[in-house]
Structures are given as C-alpha cells and as structure tokens.
C-alpha cells in the first residue's frame, strides 16, 4: 500500500493519464478527419461495408521500442454483437481498441474487418465505419447542436434530435436556456457528468456507424443519471458491432462475449455464465474482487503483479 503513495509512481501514473487524455482527444479528431491519408498504402482500397465483424489475428504491439503491450491476441468480435473486454489496469484494453481506427498499427498479426485486413484500406473509409464513446466525453465550446453535428456534418436537425431522443438527452437539452442552441464550454452552461455522457452517446448515434467502440466510464454517477446513461447506451449498442472496455457488471453480464485480458494477453473468452463457472479463472477472481468495490477492472489487481 505504501508503494501506491510513492511520488515517482504517482508521477508516472499521472503522465500515463495525460497521454491517455491526448489519445482520447485524438480519437475524436482523427475519426472525423476528412483527410487522414498519412499511413495509407499507395494502393489502399475503400473498406467495403458489411456487418462490421472485427477479427484480431495473432496481434502483437508495443509502444516504440518499449515492452510488448499486446502479445498474440486472437479473437473475433461478431457482427452486430457486443464483445466486452475486461481485465486489470494496464492489461492493454485501451491499446487494443486503438488499433481498430488505426491510431497504431500492430507490430505483428492483423486486424480484419469483415475479412479485410484494415492495413490495406484507406483510413478515411475505415473510420467512416466507426463511432467512439470515450470515458471522458469531449465537448467543445459551441452549441449543443454543433457538438452533436460534429459527428456527421451533413446531419439534419431532425436526425440530431432523433439521436438525442434515443440517447435520453432530448428532454434535458430542451430544458436548457436555449435548447439545442445552448452554448457549452467555458462561458456556457455546465452539464453534469451523466448529461455529458448522454451527449457523447447521442453524438455516436448521429454518426450512425456499424462499429461502436466504447470505453465505459468508471466514475460513479448518481442512480438516476446512471439509469439514464444505461438506457442511452442500450440504444447506441443495438444492431451494432460493439467493442466495449467494460467496468460495470451489468454491461459485462449483458455482453454476448467477454474477453478477459491480462498483461497483454487474452487469458479467457466466454459468456458471463461460462466464465463465472470457472471458479479458479481470472474473471471469477475479478468479479469476487469487484463485489467488494464497484469496478470489475478494479485499478488494483487481485493478484499482486506490481512487485
């Protein structure tokens, strides 16, 4: 426990969090970047859209010359289904997700969408198929409408309002001083954490892409807000291929498939019922651990991997 207060460790942790915040902002910017041609191969093709099945095939990855962060990861997130990724902090969950929009390319193996290696398609056509909801919703200074339309500049007002309704956000938006025209940001209104999350989910719905990458929030919301966000997520997840970094037992239990990661490797795959039945597995241990706390991918690992 004392180690947790070591200043150097705290600093290292802070740095990682900062880097992650930058990556999260990049995810939004780059997903919508109209010209992300850097890194496209000369004869890159357009990704043909199917159901949006995502396959990780023997994927390995490391940041720069550092230690491998992912090793030989193989699994398929089926089209139209929800695949939850769980595991202790540092297991590589966010890194794995960031390979799908190609913020990074694997150092070995492939990521395939509907059978096509995504290294062979244009980033633009790839990212058109992806919506992303981060843990910390990123909203910019501008009206609520602008923040929603950012996901798809040609969306009509009606489409924006329909998405907000599905995301359980329409009512609270109308209750703001200027409704959809209400300004957010430093000089605008402050929304609660749950409201920000619902705007972010509505934005993913405006985008209307077949693949949804979701980094579930760990921060606690009050019960009412939590229920509203859950309802919004259910709408967003319906009929999409969802890859979710899951922290809440309710999300995990409802997933079609759960991929358990530890130290860059997939250690278990199965349904909630399958994995719960394996009492000596990591999933069962994480679950037992989370019953004492609130988050299944608790920051502390049940087994001490730190020393």
Where does this chain bind ligand ATP (CB under 6 A)?
Answer: 16, 19, 63, 69, 87, 89-95, 297
Give the CB-side neighbour count of residue 73, counting CA atoms within 13 A: 34
Rounded to a whole number of angstroms, the minimum distance from the CB of residue 19 to ligand ATP is 4
Least gap, CB of 73 to ligand ATP (angstroms)? 11
Nearer Cβ to ligand ATP (183/267) = 267
CB of 65 to ligand ATP, least distance (A): 11
Q: Which is nearer to ligand ATP, 131 or 245 (CB)?
A: 245
Nearest 10 degrees: Cα torsion 130, 268, 275, 233:
-10
The tokens describing 186, both together, are 């430093």
Distance CA 57, CA 73 (A): 7
Q: What are the tokens at 247?
A: 């922290």
89 or 182, CB closer to ligand ATP? 89
Q: How far is the CB of 134 from ligand ATP (least distance, A)?
A: 11
The answer to whether 99 and 61 have CB atoms below 8 angstroms apart is yes
**Cα 133 to Cα 114, 152, 260, distances in angstroms:** 22, 15, 21
Query: How is residue 134 written in tokens?
Result: 């981060």
CA-based R_g, the chain, Å? 19
CB 148, CB 160: distance < 8 Å = yes
Between 180 and 289, whose beta carbon lies closer to ligand ATP?
289
CA distance 296 to 173: 32
Instruction: Provide the 10 A C-beta neighbour count for residue 269.
Output: 16
Give the Cα separation of 264 and 58 in Å (integer): 12
* Beta carbon of residue 220, minimum distance to ligand ATP (angstroms, whole number): 16
Structure tokens at 180: 């959809």
Answer whether 149's CB lies under 8 Å from 160's CB.
yes
Whole-number minimum distance, CB 306 to ligand ATP, in Å?
Answer: 12
Residue among 164 and 261 whose Cβ is closer to ligand ATP:
261
Residue closer to ligand ATP by CB (options 148, 243) is: 243
**C-beta of 147: minimal distance to ligand ATP in Å?**
25
In contact, 70 and 60? CB cutoff 8 Å: yes
Q: Which is nearer to ligand ATP, 138 or 150 (CB)?
A: 138
The residue (of 74 and 178) whose beta carbon lies closer to ligand ATP is 74
At residue 217, the 3 state secondary structure works out as coil
Least CB distance from residue 258 to ligand ATP, whole Å? Answer: 14
């Amino acid at each position: 426990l004392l180690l947790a207060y070591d200043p150097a460790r705290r600093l290292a942790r802070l740095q990682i969090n900062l880097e992650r915040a930058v990556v999260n902002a990049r995810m939004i910017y780059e997903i919508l970047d109209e010209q992300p041609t850097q890194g496209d191969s000369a004869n890159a093709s357009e990704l043909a859209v199917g159901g949006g099945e995502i396959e990780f095939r023997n994927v390995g990855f490391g940041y720069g010359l550092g230690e491998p962060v992912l090793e030989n990861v193989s699994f398929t997130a089926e089209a139209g289904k929800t695949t939850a990724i769980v595991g202790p902090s540092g297991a590589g969950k966010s890194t794995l997700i960031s390979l799908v929009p190609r913020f990074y390319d694997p150092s070995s193996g492939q990521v395939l969408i509907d059978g096509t290696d995504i290294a062979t398609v244009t980033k633009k056509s790839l990212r058109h198929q992806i919506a992303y909801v981060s843990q910390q919703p990123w909203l910019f200074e501008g009206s609520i409408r602008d923040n929603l339309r950012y996901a798809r500049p040609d969306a009509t007002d009606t489409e924006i309002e329909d998405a907000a309704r599905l995301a359980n956000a329409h009512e609270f938006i109308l209750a703001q001083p200027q409704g959809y025209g209400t300004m957010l940001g430093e000089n605008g209104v402050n929304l609660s954490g749950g409201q920000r999350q619902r705007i972010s989910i509505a934005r993913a719905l405006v985008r209307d892409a077949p693949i949804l990458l979701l980094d579930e929030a760990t921060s606690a919301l009050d019960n009412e807000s939590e229920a509203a966000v859950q309802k919004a997520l259910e709408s967003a997840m319906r009929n999409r291929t969802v890859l979710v970094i899951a922290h809440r037992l309710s999300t995990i239990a409802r997933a079609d498939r759960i991929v358990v990661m530890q130290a860059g490797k997939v250690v278990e795959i199965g349904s909630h019922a399958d994995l719960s039945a394996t009492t000596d597995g990591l999933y069962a241990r994480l679950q037992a651990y989370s019953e004492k706390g609130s988050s299944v991918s608790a920051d502390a690992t049940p087994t001490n991997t730190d020393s």
